[in-house]
Chains A and B, each alone.
Chain A
Amino acid sequence: MQNMKPEDLASDNYQETELTFFDGTSRKVLYTDIETQFPDGCLIVSRTDLDGVITHVNKSFVLMSGFTEQELIGQPHYILRHPFMPPAAFAGLWKTIQKKEKWHGYVKNLRKDGGFYWVYATVIPNRRNGEIVSYTSVRRKPSVKKVAECMELYPTLF
Chain B
Amino acid sequence: MPFNMTISPDFKPELISGWYIFNTWLQKKIDTPIHIDLVNDFIELSDAIDQNRIDLIYANPCDIARLVREKNFNPLVQPVGTQDETIIVSSVNSQVKTIEDLSPGIKVAMTDVPDVNTIGMIMLEPADITPKDIETIHCQNFITVAKNVINGQADIGFLLADAYNEFSNLVKKQLHSLITSKIHVLHHALLAGPDFPNQENLQQVLLSMNEDPKTQKILQSLEIEKWQAMDREEAEFLIDLMDTLSPE
A41 and B243 within 8 A (CB): no
CA distance A59 to B241 in the complex (A): 15
Contacting residue for B125 out of A41, A126, A143, CB 8 A:
A143
Does A144 have its Cβ within 8 Å of any Cβ on chain B? yes
A93-146 contacts to B (CB < 8 Å): 102, 104, 120, 122-124, 126, 128, 136-138, 140-146
Number of interchain pairs (Cβ within 8 Å): 61
Q: How far is the CB of B84 from chain A (nearest CB, A)?
A: 13
Please, which residues of chain A bring their CB within 8 A of the CB of B128?
Answer: 143-146
Please, which residues of chain B bring their CB within 8 A of the CB of A102?
Answer: 243-244, 248
Please, which residues of chain A bring their CB within 8 A of the CB of B240?
Answer: 124, 126, 136
Please, which residues of chain B bring their CB within 8 A of the CB of A23?
Answer: none
B245 and A138 within 8 A (CB): yes
Does A45 have its Cβ within 8 Å of any Cβ on chain B? yes
Q: How far is the CB of A61 from chain B (nearest CB, A)?
A: 12
Please, which residues of chain B bring their CB within 8 A of the CB of A142?
Answer: 125-126
Does B92 have its Cβ within 8 Å of any Cβ on chain A? no
Does A43 have its Cβ within 8 Å of any Cβ on chain B? yes
CA distance A94 to B127 in the complex (A): 29
B179 and A124 within 8 A (CB): no
Does B225 have its Cβ within 8 Å of any Cβ on chain A? no
Please, which residues of chain B bring their CB within 8 A of the CB of A138?
Answer: 241, 244-245
B190-248 contacts to A (CB < 8 Å): 236-237, 240-241, 243-245, 248
A122 and B126 within 8 A (CB): no
CA distance A122 to B245 in the complex (A): 8
Interface size class of A (residues with CB under 8 A): 20 to 34
Closest chain B residue, CB of each to CB of A134: B240
Does A80 have its Cβ within 8 Å of any Cβ on chain B? no
Please, which residues of chain B bring their CB within 8 A of the CB of A58?
Answer: 184-185
CA distance A120 to B127 in the complex (A): 13
Which residues does A use to contact B, with CB under 8 Å? 38-43, 45, 58-60, 102, 104, 120, 122-124, 126, 128, 136-138, 140-146
Which residues does B use to contact A, with CB under 8 Å? 85, 99-100, 122-123, 125-128, 179-185, 236-237, 240-241, 243-245, 248
Q: Known contacts A120-B125, A136-B241, A143-B127; can you find 8 more A-B pairs with CB under 8 A?
A: A39-B182, A42-B182, A42-B183, A59-B184, A104-B248, A136-B240, A142-B125, A144-B128
Selected A-B contacts with CB under 8 Å, 28 pairs: A40-B99, A41-B85, A41-B123, A41-B179, A41-B181, A42-B182, A43-B183, A58-B184, A102-B243, A102-B244, A102-B248, A104-B248, A122-B245, A123-B244, A124-B240, A126-B236, A126-B240, A128-B236, A136-B237, A136-B240, A136-B241, A137-B244, A138-B241, A141-B126, A143-B125, A143-B127, A144-B126, A145-B128
